[in-house]
Amino acid sequence: RRIDGPVQLIWTREDDLQHDYYRPMATSQLEAVVSADGKVQAWQHDVAAIATAPHNFIIASRTDGSGNFVAHLGADETNYTFGNFLARGSFLDTPLKVGILRGISHGYTNFAGEVFIDELAEKSGKDPIDFRFRNMSETSRGYRVLEKLQQLVGGADVPQGYHMGIGYGFEGTANSNYQYHNAVAAYVRRTPEGGVRVEKIVAVFDHGFVVNRECFKRQVEGGVMFALSMMFYDKITVAEGAVIESNFDSYRI
């Protein structure tokens, strides 16, 4: 109103990287009891993370601790049919502003859970997809997503030197219409230099009724790219109270 001319309201990339919300640091500890036939009889997932409540996007959730759900979602629910289930969270207050990154906390809670599922499958001598089938309802949407993934990659000969990793993601209470199911397979090999290279990713999604398929496809591709970026390159470094990374020359996508 007071300035006779345009006012730029868009943040610069430097403002965006150095003054935005950051994903909270987190760690998970998991324990399970598995029967001889590959059924999980008991499951426990403990998450410790930076508290998200003080910076929650819902102002009323900033003072009563309820805003910490952003830091532990994905650990406190499952689409698997475990016999006994326990999830717990511990949260540390820090001055660093933390919050949501694309999929709230499911990125690290699902990651921890699915890595553990793979470990349980290997210890039980089961195929990783078959082990998941044994611990899911055959009538669930998640089961059908895994079936489709199995059709796409099952039985395929993995080239020598490659490893196929399987992951299943789930968001939303099982009895709710708010559900997203994702199943992904990645073909990975070690490079001669001792690094790791992801050669191919196969992804299957059931997100309900999709209005704009092209937009959804871009969301999927963007999610894959950001996941790979975070796995191999991305990090935020805080020194003397300030974030060092400022643009894509220091924050690689």
pLDDT in tens, 150-191: 999 876 677 778 888 888 888 776 556 678 889 999 999 998
Which of the residue ranges 87-96, 98-107, 194-203, 241-250 would you say has the lowest mean pLDDT?
Answer: 98-107
pLDDT of residue 95 exceeding 90: no
Position 96 scores a pLDDT of 82
**Residue-level pLDDT at 104:** 80
* Span 115-144, pLDDT tens digits: 999 999 999 999 889 999 999 999 888 899
pLDDT digit string, tens, across residues 5-43: 999 889 999 999 998 888 889 999 999 999 999 999 999
Q: Residue 94 pLDDT more than 70?
A: yes
Long-range contacts of the stretch 29-35 (C-beta < 8 A, 24+): 30/112, 30/113, 30/116, 32/116, 32/120, 34/120, 34/123, 34/124
Consecutive H or E run containing 132:
helix 128-134
For residue 173, give Cα distances in angstroms to 12, 55, 73, 101, 176.
38, 24, 10, 20, 5
Beta-sheet strands, E only, within the chain: 26-34, 40-50, 85-92, 162-171, 180-190, 196-206, 238-239, 242-243
Model confidence, pTM:
0.86
All residues at 6 or more sequence positions from 199 whose CB lies less than 8 Å from its CB, including other chains: 162, 187, 188, 189
Asked whether residue 50 carries a pLDDT value surpassing 90, the answer given is yes
Distance of alpha carbon 12 from alpha carbon 18, whole angstroms: 10
Average pLDDT over residues 33-56: 95
Chain position carrying tokens 């299957």? 204
pLDDT over 70, % of the chain? 96
Q: In whole angstroms, what is the distance from residue 131 CA to residue 39 CA?
A: 8
Position 155 scores a pLDDT of 62
59 vs 157, residue with greater confidence: 59
What is the pLDDT, as a whole number, of residue 170? 81
| Average pLDDT, integer, range 224-229 | 90
144: amino acid identity, one letter: R
Q: Output the pLDDT for position 80.
A: 92
User: For residue 52, what pLDDT band results from cuts at 50, 70 and 90?
Assistant: very high
What residues contact 176, with CB distance under 8 A and at least 6 apart?
none
98: its two tokens: 């933390």
Percent of the chain with pLDDT over 90: 54
pLDDT at 79 over 80: yes
pLDDT band per the 50, 70, 90 thresholds, residue 204:
very high
